[in-house]
Structure 1
Amino acid sequence: MCKKVIEILASISIILSLSACAELKQTGKDIGHTTKKVTTAIGHGTRDTVKAIGHETKEVINEIKESD
């Protein structure tokens, strides 16, 4: 009787462990995708800012050249 109880408890714990692993794996994927989206957004924002600064700098330099 005791052996059967141990087998049942072991089976239940294995099933719960597999379920927990699947949830942990999905959580890891969600975190990874979110991190990728955030870093992409930061990168694109930085790129756009640098381009805008470059264009403004070019315009200022051209105005200085024209005024000479």
Structure 2
Amino acid sequence: MKTFPLLGLVAIVLLAGCAELKHAGKDVGEATKKATTAIGHATRDVTRDIGHASRDAVNTVKEEIKED
């Protein structure tokens, strides 16, 4: 009958370990989400800036061709 308390203790230790792993997983997930969001926003901004610069360059060339 000594195995029953021992099994209970093992179950409690395992559940506590699972809770810690779950919390750590959530922390990693949140950090990953924030990092990918920051990368996505930066990529969007750079792509938009490149597009605007390209558009402006094309418009400038068109205007110079019309003037000639």
Per the shorter chain, which TM-score range?
Answer: 0.7 to 0.9
Take 2:62 and 2:11, find their aligned partners in 1: how far apart are those partners? 76
Aligned to 2:6: 9
Structure 2 unaligned regions, length at least 5: none
The offset of 1:52, in angstroms, is 0.3
Alignment RMSD, CA only?
1.0
Q: Percent identity?
A: 46
Structure 1 unaligned regions, length at least 5: none
Aligned to 1:38: 35
Take 2:39 and 2:9, find their aligned partners in 1: how far apart are those partners? 45
Q: Deviations over 1:6-50 (max 9, x none)?
A: 222111111101101111111111111111111111111110010
TM-score (norm 2): 0.86
The offset of 1:62, in angstroms, is 1.1
Query: Which residues of 2 match residues 52-67 of structure 1 at below 5 A?
Result: 52-67=49-64
Detail structure 1 runs of 4+ shifted over 2 Å in the superposition. none
